[in-house]
Chains A and B, each alone.
Chain A
Amino acid sequence: MSVRSRALALILLLAGVLVGGIVLSAITGQLAITPTEVAGSLLRAIGIDTAWAPTDPIIESTLWVVRFPRIVMALVVGAALAVAGAVMQAIFGNPLAEPGVVGVSSGAALGAATAIVLGASVLGGAGVALFAFLGGLVATLLVYAVSRAGGRTEVVTLLLTGIAVNAIAQAGIAFVLFVADTASREQIVFWQLGSLGGSLWSQVVIVASVTVIGVLLSFALARRYDLLSLGERNARHLGVNVEQLRLVSIVLVALLTGVAVAFTGIIAFVGLVVPHIIRMIIGPAHRGLILASAVGGGALLVLADLMTRTLVSGAELPIGMLTSLVGGPFFFWLLYRQRRRSGGWA
């Protein structure tokens, strides 16, 4: 099978998993809803009345007020994080670069926490997202400026930079918590754990629109990311305006990470695990990688969110904890493998 058809097959498969996850997520919960009721309610929303449509207003409001916004939020946050990871790996020339590991998520979190303390109610949801973007941007620029040498980033440098940036951002968050009043403090602590519960449509709209723009832009730049894997100099020889590409990509990573973190807290390792597995299946060409990462990231978070709601009955696990629980060992395995292959921390 050619690379292109493999990529297409994988994207379709992931889309299938995603749809399955969405349906499963919509029908599962304290209030059991049948798949036909979900379909009926969706059809009614687009103006087609069927016999399937639920008559019970509680079911209707459970779907539209609680479950659908949460599902869409999981979908777009997953897509944003996975694509941010893929773009970051492309510009760092290193498959271990990831917004969570490198500290971009923490930077965004600091920005969002600051916004909450300063009174997010005044700024609204967009204010939190804007602050998260700015925090993420500063962190990305910092990591980028410090950790690259000769167009590439060594694993050690990248991770050490990540530790430093994470430490600074966490200190900042601690300070913000310290000066916050009780209400904001509770809000920040809860939000920091990472949760998709209580997602509002107004927030979903912000995250979704930025994610769609970000994914499309990354896709448009995909060929240039391919050339960038040859090294900055060779990419330039092939006509890539490397400086411009770098700048656009940094903003892109900060936007996607910032908007993903703004309302759901830090959900780490999605940007590491998803692009990596996809690269193993369809190869590193970025057009397929970015699209498949978007769909795969969405599917992963929808399913992960479903698990957080169902693993422990009556309670809800923080999703950030769950992704780190799975992503941490995966990261460890990647490091181990890379170390064995190159005989050191190259």
Chain B
Amino acid sequence: MSAETGTAVVVARGLRVRRDEREILAEIDLDVRTGEVLALVGPNGAGKSTLLSVLSGDLQPAAGTVELDGRAIGSFRPLELARRRAVLSQANVVSFPFRVIEIVQMGRSPWIRTAELADDQQAVLEAIRATDIEHLLGRRFTTLSGGEQARVSLARVLAQRTPVVFLDEPTAALDLRHQEDVMRLARELAAQGRAVVVVVHDLSLAGAYADRIALLDGGRLDAVGTPTEVMTADRVGRVYGLDVQIHRLGASDRPIVLPLRD
């Protein structure tokens, strides 16, 4: 694990992504640092998932650079990359009826024939415990509900044990408790010194658990900073086109975002 917290592991400069003549992302500068949870938020179609794809090395930007550990991310071989960063994508369909335990074990595959192999069982066990899927291990992945599949896929990503973790809407299909569990997990990963990037829709959830929030609007970064800095009623209202009020509960400075309702 990276020794110091706060070191920029992924550095993106001047990112620009076009698709079908349309500008999806423009003028993005962003650092992903060790020991912190960075939340990507924004309205539908703002470019959150695209940005995540670019940062994780899936997508080549039309312009700009992404560096991982000081090296252009495009120059990594797939296996080298798999040992440095794990990605939970939104689509987690499995073609054949593998058992849940087999799916989690697949997360260890980048470490085959390495010293890390000794940690295999430990990593798999921890991932299973952290995502609360012990009772599903013998089931076929294809027979699980959407939320259960999401948690199993998350366990697979955790088992990969990489210094950088990207989570694309990990809470989308989850119930209230498991949403909180997942975000708490993201915090724990950061506490271990890893860098966590997470796309979330729920602004209060982002506000409660992220160290920094990057707010995207129409493919541009509207603001990057601590939840308190980014989550102002003005800014959120403007970006989402909806009047909101920001609450703070008790002594916490974590913002809670609520739409203004009659």
Judge if B109 is at the interface, Cβ distance under 8 Å: yes
Judge if B78 is at the interface, Cβ distance under 8 Å: yes
Q: A233-B89, A237-B86 are in contact. Are A284 and B78 (CB under 8 A)?
A: no
A239 to B79, Cβ gap below 8 A? yes
Judge if B251 is at the interface, Cβ distance under 8 Å: no
Q: A152-B93, A233-B89, A283-B99 are in contact. Are A238 and B82 (CB under 8 A)?
A: yes
Q: A95-B96, A239-B79, A240-B78 are in contact. Are A233 and B109 (CB under 8 A)?
A: no
A234 to B89, Cβ gap below 8 A? yes
Q: A238-B107, A241-B78 are in contact. Are A231 and B92 (CB under 8 A)?
A: yes
B98 to A226, Cβ gap below 8 A? yes
A230 to B160, Cβ gap below 8 A? no
| Residues of A close to B56: CB separation below 8 A | 237
B83 to A231, Cβ gap below 8 A? no
Q: Name the residue on A nearest B93 (C-beta).
A: A231
B160 to A238, Cβ gap below 8 A? yes
Q: How far does the Cβ of A18 sit from chain B's closest Cβ, in whole Å? A: 25
A240 to B103, CA, bound (A): 15
A238 to B99, Cβ gap below 8 A? no
Q: Name the residue on A nearest B89 (C-beta).
A: A233
A239 to B99, Cβ gap below 8 A? no
Q: Name the residue on A nearest B105 (C-beta).
A: A226
Judge if B137 is at the interface, Cβ distance under 8 Å: no
| Residues of B close to A228: CB separation below 8 A | 95
A237 to B166, CA, bound (A): 11
Which residue of B97, B98, B103, B110 contacts A239 across the interface (Cβ within 8 Å)? B110
Judge if A285 is at the interface, Cβ distance under 8 Å: yes
| Residues of B close to A238: CB separation below 8 A | 82, 106-107, 109-110, 160
Judge if A94 is at the interface, Cβ distance under 8 Å: yes
A285 to B97, CA, bound (A): 9
Judge if B253 is at the interface, Cβ distance under 8 Å: no
A239 to B83, Cβ gap below 8 A? yes
B77 to A241, Cβ gap below 8 A? yes
Judge if B94 is at the interface, Cβ distance under 8 Å: yes
Judge if B260 is at the interface, Cβ distance under 8 Å: no
* Per-position binary interface string of chain B over residues 106-136, scored 1 when its CB falls under 8 Å from any chain A CB and 0 otherwise: 1101101000000000000000000000000
Number of interface residues of A (CB under 8 A): 25
A152 to B82, CA, bound (A): 22
A240 to B83, CA, bound (A): 12
B98 to A284, Cβ gap below 8 A? yes
Which residue of A95, A229, A233 contacts B58 across the interface (Cβ within 8 Å)? A233
Judge if A223 is at the interface, Cβ distance under 8 Å: yes
A337 to B57, CA, bound (A): 39
| Residues of B close to A95: CB separation below 8 A | 95-96
B109 to A227, Cβ gap below 8 A? yes
Q: How far does the Cβ of B221 sit from chain A's closest Cβ, in whole Å? A: 25
Judge if A185 is at the interface, Cβ distance under 8 Å: no
B82 to A237, Cβ gap below 8 A? yes
B92 to A234, Cβ gap below 8 A? yes
| Residues of A close to B80: CB separation below 8 A | 239
Judge if B23 is at the interface, Cβ distance under 8 Å: no
| Residues of A close to B109: CB separation below 8 A | 223, 226-227, 238-239
A239 to B57, CA, bound (A): 12
Judge if A279 is at the interface, Cβ distance under 8 Å: yes
| Residues of A close to B86: CB separation below 8 A | 237
Q: How far does the Cβ of B58 sit from chain A's closest Cβ, in whole Å? A: 7
Q: How far does the Cβ of A108 sit from chain B's closest Cβ, in whole Å? A: 25
Q: How far does the Cβ of A115 sit from chain B's closest Cβ, in whole Å? A: 36
Judge if B30 is at the interface, Cβ distance under 8 Å: no
27 contacts between A and B (CB under 8 A): A3-B99, A152-B93, A152-B95, A226-B98, A227-B106, A228-B95, A229-B96, A230-B94, A230-B103, A231-B89, A231-B94, A231-B95, A233-B89, A234-B87, A234-B89, A237-B58, A237-B82, A238-B82, A238-B110, A238-B160, A240-B78, A241-B79, A242-B78, A279-B97, A283-B97, A283-B102, A285-B98
Contacts A3-B99, A226-B106 aside, 5 further interface pairs with beta carbons under 8 A come to A237-B56, A238-B107, A241-B77, A284-B96, A285-B98
